[in-house]
């Protein structure tokens, strides 16, 4: 069967080492190492070709070849070749032996140096039976030419030093019209034409999507197998607690809260997605559930996408939930080991934190509930790691609604609660869409709001890049010249402590302006903020713009959102101006930018597939999901 790679003829010490550095140790490994891409061997158009460059053409022999003798025993073969109805002279040194094989009217392929003025090709290579379209595998193994790899792979095929096992169920192969795995592998190494190669690549991607879905399915099955410890929460204490909340829950909030308690009662682990527009009040809903968990003797974890948000949630919980023992755990937490000991002992009821929370040495004594805020910011890995920290019911919160199909493909089947209405005392935000040249009129409005002691955000697309024009710094200076110490500056690259300090100043003082990058995008809650100015709308997706707009209008005060642009983005920004429905805006994003863009996966890079791509191959993922889940 398989042999060590060094046994294959053509593989010496040097090649062996190179192969090993690519984790290729045996003939089998090399067969399962697929080309990274394919170079298509294109014919050159001689009409467009540049003098003295290398060209490849296919043409018809148009004259009987003759041999010309030169000095030093050198001879050349000469004939005319008809390419695209033009005659060219072919000169081939040391190719006298081809004279007899070249017949008039025969189709051949010639590669060589082009002399444009003389209409001549100095041939390097003459192939008598041209393959019209050749696809060359490109293995991207540094130090070994692709043609040599192909020869080595060919050797392995000749000797049958490999074994390919089918890994997909046969009914699915039939149903989806897929190639067998054996065929696929052969074509990946030796593609005869584009059509066959496309079929092979399709099967390769399908396989990847299939096994990804298989993993989700296994997770789903094992969730359903575990009989979890009963969460015997005390409904009366929870009800009393709800009575004490200083506002009345909306009907949707009440329904979502009930859904969570229903999940707790279920015998198996549950996953739920709570979707609700910015400001719809998701935090209090999970807060009540966390409180319920405490009455049942379980700990909870709340994961936020940024330190700013973790800090803010932490403060919210301190304020609304005085009976909970809450801890903040982020990468800048001091004395982590002490805190972790308190988490491990069960002394802490709720841990609020960022990714740092999921490092392996954070152990809970009795984790029962995990909340993941703005889940689209996290990849599958992060989620699963935290979820596996105990027998925890899981709840994702998102302000960017996910179409059901997309959600189930990447997260598996889960139940969804929607919070559609906003708390009663909110006024709709008035949105303006202006050309950047009108910025002065925005500043006039800004002066009025600041005089009323309201707060304002000015969001810039970048920290320092020149190409995007104004930056947080230039805008900060421009505004500081008018508003002096009323202006604050924040961006993602500031140290965490400084960010916290700036946010605290902004939150605790009236009439302040915060110039920022998108760090304020999700969740930040400052009630007196009435103005959101987004300097350059074209750099943001509609969902993102909507998130930003949701930073204002968080009290009974009238709020405003200005989007400035250079008019290159008329349709999109007009839709934004006229629509306050986050669900609709995200549908638009999904349609125009695809799921990858929409989910922020490109940035997080956490759902990385080797061959398939969630964005381009979304339909294939849907098929794989259907196949796996209907087995």
What's the closest the beta carbon of residue 554 comes to ligand ADP, in angstroms?
Answer: 6
Q: Is 278 in the site for ligand ADP (CB under 6 A)?
A: yes
Q: Which of 297, 423, 594, 596 binds ligand ADP (CB under 6 A)?
A: 423
Nearer to ligand ADP, 135 or 394 (CB): 394
Q: Where are the beta strands (DSSP E) in 451-492?
A: 455-459, 487-490
Number of residues in contact with Mg ion, rule: CB under 5 A? 1
Tokens read off for 478: 């421009």
196-230 as b/e, with b when 16 or more CB fall inside 10 Å?
Answer: bbebbbbbbbbbbbbebbbebbebbeebeeeebee
Give the up-direction half-sphere exposure of residue 314: CA atoms within 13 A in the CB hemisphere: 19
Contact 204, 167 (CB under 8 A): no
Stretch that binds ligand ADP, among 177-185, 246-254, 450-458, 570-578 (CB under 6 A): 246-254
Please, what sign has the CA dihedral across residues 178, 182, 183, 184? positive
What's the closest the beta carbon of residue 308 comes to Mg ion, in angstroms?
Answer: 12
User: What does 300 bind: ligand ADP, Mg ion, none (CB cut-off 5 to 8 Å by kind)?
Assistant: none
Rounded CA-CA distance 237/321 in Å is: 13
What's the closest the beta carbon of residue 242 comes to ligand ADP, in angstroms?
Answer: 11
Nearer to ligand ADP, 344 or 555 (CB): 555
User: What does 525 bind: ligand ADP, Mg ion, none (CB cut-off 5 to 8 Å by kind)?
Assistant: ligand ADP
Measured at CB, which residue is nearest to Mg ion? Answer: 523
Q: Is 596 in the site for ligand ADP (CB under 6 A)?
A: no
Measured at CB, which residue is nearest to ligand ADP? Answer: 281
Q: Is 287 in the site for Mg ion (CB under 5 A)?
A: no
Tokens read off for 435: 């050309």
Among candidate residues 298, 397, 413, 302, the one with its CA nearest the CA of residue 358: 302
Q: Which of residues 505-534 bind ligand ADP (CB under 6 A)?
A: 523, 525
Stretch that binds ligand ADP, among 136-144, 249-257, 466-474, 623-631 (CB under 6 A): 249-257
Q: Residue 9 gets which letter from DSSP?
A: T
Rounded CA-CA distance 549/559 in Å is: 9
Q: Is 541 in the site for ligand ADP (CB under 6 A)?
A: no
Contact 210, 628 (CB under 8 A): yes
Rounded CA-CA distance 496/107 in Å is: 70
Q: Which of residues 330-369 bind ligand ADP (CB under 6 A)?
A: none
User: What does 375 bind: Mg ion, ligand ADP, none (CB cut-off 5 to 8 Å by kind)?
Assistant: none
User: What does 247 bind: Mg ion, ligand ADP, none (CB cut-off 5 to 8 Å by kind)?
Assistant: ligand ADP
Site string for ligand ADP, 464-503 (x = CB under 6 A): ----------------------------------------
Between the CA atoms of 520, 526, 531 and 532, what dihedral angle is there, to the nearest 10 degrees?
A: 10
Tokens read off for 577: 């101006």
Rounded CA-CA distance 310/315 in Å is: 9
Helix/strand/coil for 616:
coil
Nearer to Mg ion, 65 or 276 (CB): 276
List the helix and strand counts (H, then E) for the chain: 21, 21
**Beta strand 66-69 with 75-83: parallel, antiparallel or unpaired?**
antiparallel
Q: Is 427 in the site for ligand ADP (CB under 6 A)?
A: no
Q: Which of residues 56-85 bind ligand ADP (CB under 6 A)?
A: none
Stretch that binds ligand ADP, among 108-116, 198-206, 271-279, 434-442 (CB under 6 A): 271-279
User: What does 284 bind: ligand ADP, Mg ion, none (CB cut-off 5 to 8 Å by kind)?
Assistant: ligand ADP
Contact 59, 108 (CB under 8 A): yes
Phi first, then psi, for residue 569 (nearest 5°) are -130, 40
Stretch that binds ligand ADP, among 82-90, 244-252, 477-485, 487-495 (CB under 6 A): 244-252
What's the closest the beta carbon of residue 221 comes to ligand ADP, in angstroms?
Answer: 32
Q: Which of 249, 416, 463, 584 binds ligand ADP (CB under 6 A)?
A: 249
164 exposure class (CB count in 10 Å sphere: 0-12, 13-18, 19+): middle
312 exposure class (CB count in 10 Å sphere: 0-12, 13-18, 19+): buried
Site string for Mg ion, 507-526 (x = CB under 5 A): ----------------x---
Stretch that binds ligand ADP, among 192-200, 274-282, 352-360, 484-492 (CB under 6 A): 274-282
Q: Is 250 in the site for ligand ADP (CB under 6 A)?
A: yes
What's the closest the beta carbon of residue 376 comes to Mg ion, in angstroms?
Answer: 13
Number of residues in contact with ligand ADP, rule: CB under 6 A? 18
User: What does 279 bind: ligand ADP, Mg ion, none (CB cut-off 5 to 8 Å by kind)?
Assistant: ligand ADP
Residues 6+ apart with CB under 8 A from 630: none
Q: Is 257 in the site for ligand ADP (CB under 6 A)?
A: no
Rounded CA-CA distance 218/334 in Å is: 38
Rounded CA-CA distance 476/479 in Å is: 5
Contact 511, 447 (CB under 8 A): no
Contact 329, 353 (CB under 8 A): yes
Nearer to Mg ion, 306 or 565 (CB): 306
What's the closest the beta carbon of residue 373 comes to Mg ion, in angstroms?
Answer: 6
User: What does 43 bind: ligand ADP, Mg ion, none (CB cut-off 5 to 8 Å by kind)?
Assistant: none
Q: Which of 247, 318, 347, 498 binds ligand ADP (CB under 6 A)?
A: 247
Cα–Cα distances (Å) from 334 to 40, 195, 302, 498, in that order, read 57, 59, 19, 15
Nearer to Mg ion, 310 or 585 (CB): 310
Q: Which of residues 364-403 bind ligand ADP (CB under 6 A)?
A: 399
Residue with tokens 């349709």: 571
Q: Is 279 in the site for ligand ADP (CB under 6 A)?
A: yes
Stretch that binds ligand ADP, among 54-62, 107-115, 247-255, 259-267 (CB under 6 A): 247-255
Rounded CA-CA distance 558/603 in Å is: 34
User: What does 516 bind: Mg ion, ligand ADP, none (CB cut-off 5 to 8 Å by kind)?
Assistant: none
User: What does 533 bind: Mg ion, ligand ADP, none (CB cut-off 5 to 8 Å by kind)?
Assistant: none
Rounded CA-CA distance 422/217 in Å is: 35
Q: Which of residues 519-558 bind Mg ion (CB under 5 A)?
A: 523
For binding to Mg ion (CB under 5 A), which residues are involved? 523
- Please give the residue ranges that form the binding site for ligand ADP (CB under 6 A): 247-250, 253, 276, 278-284, 399, 423, 523, 525, 554
């Amino acid at each position: 069967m398989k042999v060590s790679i060094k046994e294959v003829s053509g593989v010496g010490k040097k090649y062996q080492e190179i192969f090993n550095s690519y984790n290729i140790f045996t003939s089998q490994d090399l067969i399962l190492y697929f080309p990274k891409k394919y170079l298509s061997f294109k014919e050159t158009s001689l009409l467009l070709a540049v003098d003295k460059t290398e060209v490849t053409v296919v043409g018809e022999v148009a004259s009987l070849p003759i041999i010309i003798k030169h000095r030093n025993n050198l001879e050349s073969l000469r004939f005319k070749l008809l390419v695209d109805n033009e005659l060219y002279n072919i000169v081939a040194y040391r190719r006298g032996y081809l004279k007899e094989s070249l017949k008039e009217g025969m189709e051949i392929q010639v590669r060589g140096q082009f002399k444009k003025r003389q209409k001549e090709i100095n041939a390097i290579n003459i192939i008598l039976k041209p393959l019209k379209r050749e696809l060359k595998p490109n293995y991207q193994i540094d130090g070994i030419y692709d043609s040599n790899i192909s020869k080595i792979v060919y050797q392995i095929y000749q000797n049958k030093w490999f074994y390919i096992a089918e890994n997909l169920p046969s009914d699915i192969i039939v149903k989806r019209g897929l190639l067998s795995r054996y065929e696929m592998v052969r074509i990946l190494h030796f593609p005869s034409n584009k059509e066959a190669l496309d079929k092979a690549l399709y099967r390769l991607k399908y396989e990847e999507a299939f096994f990804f879905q298989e993993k989700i399915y296994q997770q789903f099955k094992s969730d359903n197998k575990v009989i979890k410890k009963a969460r015997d929460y005390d409904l009366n204490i929870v009800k009393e607690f709800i009575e004490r909340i200083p506002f009345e829950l909306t009907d949707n909030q009440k329904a979502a809260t009930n859904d969570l308690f229903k999940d707790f009662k279920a015998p198996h682990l549950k996953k739920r997605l709570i979707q609700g527009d910015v400001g719809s009040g998701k935090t209090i809903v999970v807060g009540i559930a966390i409180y319920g968990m405490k009455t049942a003797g379980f700990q909870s974890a709340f994961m936020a996408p940024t330190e700013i948000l973790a800090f803010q949630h932490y403060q919210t919980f301190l304020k609304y939930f005085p009976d909970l023992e809450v801890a903040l755990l982020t990468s800048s937490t001091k004395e982590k080991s002490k805190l972790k000991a308190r988490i491990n002992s069960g002394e802490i009821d709720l841990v609020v934190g960022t990714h740092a929370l999921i490092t392996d040495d954070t152990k809970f004594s009795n984790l029962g509930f995990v909340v993941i805020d703005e889940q689209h910011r996290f990849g599958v890995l992060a989620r699963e790691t935290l979820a596996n920290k105990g027998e925890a019911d899981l709840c994702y919160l998102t302000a960017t609604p996910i179409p059901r199909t997309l959600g189930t493909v990447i997260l598996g089947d889960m139940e969804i609660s929607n919070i559609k209405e906003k708390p009663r005392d909110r006024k709709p935000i008035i949105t303006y869409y202006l050309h950047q040249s009108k910025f002065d009129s925005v500043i006039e409005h800004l002066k009025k709001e600041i005089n009323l002691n309201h707060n304002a955000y000015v969001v810039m697309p970048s920290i320092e890049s020149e190409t995007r024009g104004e930056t947080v710094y230039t805008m900060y200076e421009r505004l500081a010249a008018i508003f002096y110490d009323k202006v604050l500056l924040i961006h993602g690259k500031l140290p965490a402590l400084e960010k916290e300090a700036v946010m605290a100043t902004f939150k605790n003082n009236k009439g302040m302006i915060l110039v920022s990058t998108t760090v304020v995008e999700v969740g930040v809650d400052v009630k007196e903020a009435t103005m959101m100015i987004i300097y350059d709308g074209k750099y943001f997706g509609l969902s993102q713009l909507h998130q930003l707009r949701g930073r204002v209008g968080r009290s009974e005060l009238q709020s405003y959102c200005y989007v400035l642009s250079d008019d290159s983005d008329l349709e999109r920004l007009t839709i934004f101006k006229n629509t306050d429905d986050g669900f609709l805006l995200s549908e638009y994003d999904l349609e125009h930018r695809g799921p990858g863009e929409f989910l922020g996966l490109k940035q997080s890079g956490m759902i990385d597939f080797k061959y398939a791509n969630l964005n381009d191959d979304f339909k294939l993922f849907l098929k794989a999901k259907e196949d796996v889940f209907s087995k």
